[in-house]
Chain A
Amino acid sequence: MSKIMEWVDARLPVTELLKSQATEYPTPKNLNYWWNFGSLALLVLIIMIATGLFLAMHYKADANQSFDVVEHIMRDVNYGWLLRYAHANGASFFFMVVYVHILRGMYYGSYRQPREILWWFGIIIFFMMMGTAFMGYVLPWGQMSYWGAAVITNLMSAIPVIGEDLVVWIWGGFSVGDPTLNRFFALHFLLPLVIFGVVILHLWALHAVHSNNPDGIDLHDAKDSIPFHPYYTIKDFYGYGIFMIIFCIFVFYAPNFFLEPDNYIPANPMQTPAHIVPEWYFLPFYAILRSIDFLGSFSKLAGVLAMVGAIMILFVLPFLDRSPVRSFRYRPLSKQLFWIFVVDCIVLGWVGYNPADATIFNGALPLIIIGRTCTAIYFGYFFLLWAITALDIEKHQPVPKSI
């Protein structure tokens, strides 16, 4: 055995790579469980690619057949129901895990120097995940698939000059139809593999600068680090166990919890559903989109810009935060802003879930007002984080020298 490894290592240094990047790879010893979510995201990505591959062996992209074919997978293919439910619920869990992963980075200042490139790869992954999930949702060709696709692709028409033509080009016709379905399937197959590639870049960037830690400090003392294996391998596996239990409870006992009943109705271009809702993980962004409705004919374009901007602003977060301290653990003001931001995102999600013209308190308060306020708070977070750090308003607490 060792002879063979020697032979291989002389040509391709596998052992050396495993040693330096996995087994002996130095990792901060004080990482808490929020640091499990990166490896969890990788697990879900693998689950998605594996179940997706087998689904693709039975699926057909065809406006006249796709709905029936998905039911054929559910009913006639051996364990087809397991593949489909794991894949559909996997998408929701992917977003849950990645949202926690992103918020973890925001709380502990993981986006700060020297991890900017690592952070940017993460946002690129997030962006591509959204595209993949959106196109995947179209594939079963139910009512929500069809009308969700129609509403979202229509947003492109807000782009000045080329918008209208662009939408027709994306549709491959004058409405969402068979060509749209086919190209979405091709892209939905491709994108996760691209995501996989960017995850490798993401990990490369991680290993170049190493993990941040809950104290947000640079590690100088050798005693602060422990080898990745066995400490974090076992901790990640324990996390996998907990995750799989929760995931399986949904897959086996509440598989339709995240699915809209309307998507069990075949797509019907002649009949608009009473209430078109995107998947839950798009809702905060959907609410931001709809909250800009006061600019007349510019509303649509401005809404789209605000929605895209809500993600794009994450790219500049490393430059907005000017505090000398990374971790919010030692930054009382930033910490409060952070929790307001989290609650704000949840409220935005709830606004996005309800019809645009809904009201609360017997009509006294239109939801659109809440939506606008929360959109302002969303962007306000980034402004205030800059303001309190750049203008030295925040007095940070003493930061430990070592872990």
Chain B
Amino acid sequence: MNCQEVIKFRSVVKRVSRMVRSAAVLLVAAASLTAAVPGDAQASSGAAVPPKQPWSFLGVFGQFDQAALKRGAQVAVQSCLTCHSIKYIKFDQLRQLGFSELEVKAMAEGTGRTKKDPLTSSMDPTAAKESFGVVPPDLSLITKARKGYEDYVYGILVGYASDSDLALANRVMADGKIGAEEAKEVASALLLDGHYPDKMAETLKRMIGGENFNRYFPGNFFAMPQPLMDGAVAYTDGTENSKVQLARDVVTFLAWAAEPTQMERKSLGIKVILYLVVLTIMLYAVKRRIWAKVH
């Protein structure tokens, strides 16, 4: 290195260390922020965070499992469509998932429509409001419209109280109050906050009373009765039709329905970004070359 280069090198080192220092200040600030997560925001929603699921279609190279998409469409049409609409998807579009024209026609006619129709619910909104107190939301965008996205919708479908949960509730509430040990047991089984035994007792009472308890719904109770049970839909491809499997499949379908263009987006993205990376490297090389003359 000649003298000038040494000076330049020193100034670069100085500059970098300055930047590191300011970055450190910002990082410390950011870290102390994340460490201090506000408590009330959590408590007021009163529901557990749904665990992350390994969805095949997420991530840069993620792809839809085509078989799961087809099964999911079947679950959606046969089960969810009783109450919900998926109005931004038309029956005809299901051919993109690998259904034949005849199959699509049969699916549409099975619910009294033609293949040109959107996937609207057979239940009319006033009737729905009468039976449930609310109109079930359209599901076209549901995986994008809730915090937790796909994991949340999946959590909703599998988060209901099972028979053993009910047995636990009955056992705990038999003496009318919740002990410290019981609170812990209930908290871990139903993902409730163990710090508030009164609130917990209230929840268990409503659960025993037959209201729709769900671990992941904010507030724990809502109007949707458990839609999926083991074996609720008959699969033709030999896949086991357990509740969990039905839920995985229908959520996969709903994730597609929320944005049918997402695979096009991702495959275009790779090309665009690769192009930009090459271009930017070349621009950098030219920039170095031009600026070499300036001291």
Contact = CB atoms under 8 A, between A and B. Distances in A.
Interface of A: 29, 71, 74-75, 81-82, 85, 226, 230-231, 234-235, 237-238, 241-242, 244-245, 248-249, 251-253, 255-256, 261-262, 264-265, 274-275, 339, 342-343, 346-347, 350, 354-355, 357-363, 367
A343 B29 contact: yes
Given A238-B287, A262-B145, A360-B36, A74 B140 contact: no
B30 interface: yes
Contacts of B291: 231, 234-235
Contacts of B141: 71, 264-265
B273 A249 contact: yes
B53 interface: no
- Top 9 closest pairs, chain A to chain B, by CB: A252-B269, A241-B280, A358-B38, A264-B145, A360-B36, A238-B283, A343-B29, A264-B141, A264-B144
Contacts of A265: 137, 141, 145
Given A261-B149, A354-B41, A358-B41, A74 B29 contact: no
B33 A347 contact: yes
Contacts of A249: 273
B88 A347 contact: no
A82 B266 CA distance: 11
B265 A237 contact: no
Nearest to B262: A81
A141 to B, nearest CB: 13
A363 B195 CA distance: 14
A339 B38 contact: no
A219 to B, nearest CB: 15
Contacts of B280: 238, 241-242, 244-245
Given A234-B290, A264-B144, 18 more contacts: A81-B259, A230-B290, A231-B291, A235-B291, A237-B283, A241-B283, A245-B277, A251-B269, A252-B270, A252-B272, A253-B60, A256-B144, A261-B145, A264-B141, A350-B33, A355-B44, A360-B36, A360-B38
Contact of B37 (A75, A81, A360): A360
Interface in B22-36: 22, 25-26, 29-30, 33, 36
Nearest to A340: B25
A245 B88 contact: no
B294 interface: yes
A29 B295 CA distance: 8
B40 interface: yes
B261 A74 contact: yes
Interface string B30-72: 1001001111110011000000000000001000000000000
Contacts of A238: 280, 283-284, 287
A93 to B, nearest CB: 15
21 contacts: A71-B141, A75-B88, A235-B291, A245-B273, A248-B272, A251-B269, A252-B265, A252-B268, A253-B60, A261-B147, A262-B145, A265-B137, A275-B41, A339-B22, A347-B33, A355-B44, A358-B38, A358-B39, A358-B40, A358-B41, A359-B40
* Interface SS, B side: helix
Residue in A255, A343, A362 with the greatest tally of chain B CB atoms within 10 Å: A343
B255 to A, nearest CB: 12
Contacts of A362: 39
A241 B60 contact: no
A167 B71 CA distance: 52
Contact of A343 (B25, B44, B287): B25
A71 B39 contact: no
B286 interface: yes
Nearest to B257: A75
Residue in B29, B140, B277 with the greatest tally of chain A CB atoms within 10 Å: B29
A29 B88 CA distance: 56
Contacts of A350: 33
Nearest to B273: A248
Contacts of A241: 276, 279-280, 283-284
Contacts of A261: 144-147, 149
B146 to A, nearest CB: 5
Residue in B41, B88, B137 with the greatest tally of chain A CB atoms within 10 Å: B41
Contacts of B283: 234, 237-238, 241
B33 A82 contact: no
